[in-house]
Amino acid sequence: MALVPMRVLLDHAAENDYGVGAFNVNNMEQIQAIMEAARETNSPVIVQASRGARAYSDDNYLRHLMLAAAELNPKIPIAMHQDHGNSPKTCFSAIEMGFTSVMMDGSLQEDGKTPSSYEYNVEVTQKVVEAAHAKGVTVEAELGCLGGIEDGHGAGLSGEEALAHLTDPAQAEEFVAQTGCDALAVAIGTSHGAYKFTKKPTGEVLKMEIIAEIHRRLPNTHMVMHGSSSVPKELVDIINQYGGEIRETYGVPVEEIQEGIRHGVRKINVDTDNRLAITGAIRKVFAEDGGKFDPRDYLKPARAAMKEVVKARMIAFGQAGNADKVPALTLDDMKRRYHDMGSKVS
């Protein structure tokens, strides 16, 4: 099966009340880990690459690795998504490269740090929706800014300032009507990276009620939760047991994500948990045998550790068991649907 538009996966998830994990990749082993997990659980797949990932791996390598994944797994629908596109230009080059979905993150200016104005966000998102839908490509947008200062994407907001940048449900309604985006990333108190919360999050810091309210206003819009790693203590402990120095930290509990899925969250972004799993596995090999120097000796356990995390998330989010049930719609099919609906499909 060829790569499919992400919208097809999200529509199926919405019709059947489940969520789809979107896992970040930078190299072959991460792509293999996701595909193995998907094969073992019969799960549809969203693989996503940040701008940093595209620069690290080079677009061409990434594209061919994704095509290999599709060729080797003809029964699994796979969407290839640009994570946090910082400008229409980035989204357009991803589409040229064969991505079947792009995120235009107009919540921040092109620097990926400074919160932008609502008007700027609408303008760049509309531009990307127009060009992407003309090719059947899915568009994710973002309204509101994630908190935290980790890992490059985000405004580094905390306290009152962060609260002021949570997604406003009334504005979300207006934004979706104005832009025609397929999916909307919402800010509810999460942040990227390992250091999200200093204790298990309560409703004070993780505002799940925003999701319920947006779902009430926009029952047909697919919501996206960024910064959704759970930062499991077991993974942090392995890193620290073998010489790492990760401070005590808490992520987004899987039960909260499941609550989000009950209220319209269809895409769940996870990167950090996989990074932790990979790092722990590699540290263990090095700590237990300082003589190892064949990369396969540590990349194999790293890949296996990531596969276990991805598998667990695929089961918890409910996408497991659905790969062979997703309708086989192509970019051309979506292109026609967008055209017939005047670009917006709801």
Q: Are the CB atoms for 203 and 226 separated by under 8 Å?
A: no
Could you give the C-alpha distances from 337 to 13, 130, 217, in angstroms and in order?
A: 18, 13, 24
CA 12 – CA 7 distance, rounded (Å): 8
Q: Indicate whether 313 belongs to the interface with ligand G3H (CB under 6 A).
A: no
Helix (H), strand (E) at residue 269: strand 265-270
Establish if 101 lies at the interface with ligand 13P (CB under 6 A).
no
Residue 156 near ligand G3H by CB under 6 A: no
Catalytic residue among 11, 83, 105, 182: 83
The entry of Zn ion, ligand 13P, ligand G3H, none that residue 228 binds, CB within 5 to 8 Å by partner kind: ligand 13P
Site string for ligand 13P, 174-213 (x = CB under 6 A): ------------------xx--------------------
> Which position among 12, 63, 153, 311 is part of the footprint of ligand G3H (CB under 6 A)?
153
Terminal-to-terminal C-alpha distance of the chain: 25
CA distance 144 to 71: 38
- State the nearest-atom distance from the C-beta of 191 to ligand G3H, in Å: 10
Note whether 152 binds ligand G3H by CB under 6 A: yes
Residue 226 as a binder of ligand 13P (CB under 6 A): the answer is yes
Residue pair 329/5 in contact (Cβ under 8 Å)? The answer is yes
DSSP state string for 218-245: -TTSEEEE-S-----HHHHHHHHHTT--
CA 342 to the chain's CA centroid: 27
Based on the shown chain and the rule CB under 6 A, indicate whether residue 267 belongs to the binding site for ligand G3H: no
How many residues form the binding site for ligand G3H (CB under 6 A)? 11
Between 36 and 256, whose beta carbon lies closer to Zn ion? 256
- When asked if residue 83 is in the footprint of ligand G3H (CB under 6 A), the reply is yes
Start-end of H helices in 137-207: 159-164, 169-179
| Contact flags string 325-344 toward ligand G3H, x per CB under 6 A | --------------------
Contact region with ligand G3H (CB under 6 A), list: 46-54, 57-65, 209-217, 250-258: 46-54
Residue type, 332: D
Q: Is there a contact between 337 and 139 (Cβ–Cβ < 8 Å)? A: no
Query: Which of residues 222 and 338 has its CB atom nearest to ligand 13P in the complex?
Result: 222
Residue 273 annotated to the active site: no
Question: At its nearest, how many Å lie between ligand G3H and the CB of residue 51?
Answer: 7
Stretch that binds ligand G3H, among 92-100, 151-159, 217-225, 247-255 (CB under 6 A): 151-159
Q: How far is the CB of 274 from ligand 13P (least distance, A)?
A: 8
Structure-token pair, residue 64: 């061919």
Secondary structure in 3-state letters for 80-99: EEEEEECCHHHHHHHHHCCC
Q: Which stretch binds ligand 13P (CB under 6 A): 59-67, 108-116, 223-231, 304-312?
A: 223-231
Q: Which of 37, 19, 83 is nearest to 254 (CA)?
A: 19
Q: Judged by CB under 6 A, which of 11, 83, 182, 213 binds ligand 13P?
A: 83
Q: Which residues are CB-neighbours of 313 under 8 A, at least 6 positions away?
A: 21, 23, 254, 268, 270, 273
Check residue 269 for interaction with ligand 13P (CB under 6 A): yes
Picked from ligand G3H, Zn ion, ligand 13P, none, the partner binding residue 30 (CB below 5 to 8 A depending on kind) is none
Instruction: Round to whole Å and give the CA distance between 269 and 120.
Output: 24
Q: H/E element holding 49?
A: strand 45-49
* Positions that interact with ligand G3H (CB under 6 A): 24, 50, 52-53, 83-84, 151-153, 192, 271
- Residues marked active site are found at 83
* Positions that interact with ligand 13P (CB under 6 A): 24, 83-84, 192-193, 226-229, 269-272
